């Protein structure tokens, strides 16, 4: 059973951004963070933020760009919906069903490093406390990953 606690997502995202600071500066990516609401989750939520932010840094052509993190609180539904958006090169629509599967990689290892586990892990973590994840992509320019997390 999952022990859910109230998570300060603003503090959690600030911690992740601090940990990724060298990578953010090296890639010259501007990060914008909106107001984020507290949610009911566990410490593994940090891995979801970290993975989605790292994807926003990795999946781009060239240097520069932006990644934004926003949140929409939906009190009537008792959920908050987070969005991590980037201006990278997007996801081909015919990969839509595969992107959350284990070991699915959309790029060769020599193009972009990775294991193909990240998005599958994000989906599994979110399911543990009643959340879900999905995305929209405007290939060849940008992706938006959404996930919802209970607020209590």
For every residue of the chain, DSSP letters joined together read ----EEE-HHHHHHHHHHHTHHHHHHHT-EEEE-----EEE-TTHHHHHHHHHHHHHHSSSSS--EEEEEEEEEGGGTEEEEEEEE-S----GGGTTTTTSTT--SS-TTTS---S-HHHHHHHHHHHTT-EEEEEE-TTS-EEEEEEEE--
Q: What is the pLDDT of residue 150?
A: 95
Q: What is the pLDDT of residue 49?
A: 98
For each of the chain's 152 residues, which pLDDT tens digit applies? 668 899 999 999 999 999 999 999 999 999 999 999 999 999 999 999 999 999 889 877 677 889 999 999 999 999 999 999 999 876 666 665 656 564 454 544 455 454 455 788 899 999 998 999 998 777 667 888 999 999 97
Q: What is the pTM of this model?
A: 0.85
């Amino acid at each position: 059973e999952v022990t859910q606690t109230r998570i300060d997502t603003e503090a959690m995202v600030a911690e992740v951004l601090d940990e990724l600071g060298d990578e953010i500066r090296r890639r010259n990516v501007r990060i914008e963070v909106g107001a984020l609401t507290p949610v009911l989750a566990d410490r593994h939520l940090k891995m979801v933020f970290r993975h989605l932010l790292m994807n926003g840094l990795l999946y781009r052509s060239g240097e520069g760009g932006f990644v934004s993190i926003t949140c929409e609180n939906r009190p009537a539904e008792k959920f908050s919906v987070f969005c991590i958006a980037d201006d990278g090169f997007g996801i081909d629509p015919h990969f839509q069903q595969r992107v959350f599967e284990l070991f699915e990689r959309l790029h060769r290892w020599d193009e972009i490093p990775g294991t193909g586990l990240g998005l599958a892990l994000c989906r599994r973590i979110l399911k543990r406390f009643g959340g879900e994840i999905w995305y929209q992509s405007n290939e060849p320019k940008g992706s938006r990953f959404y996930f919802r997390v209970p607020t209590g």
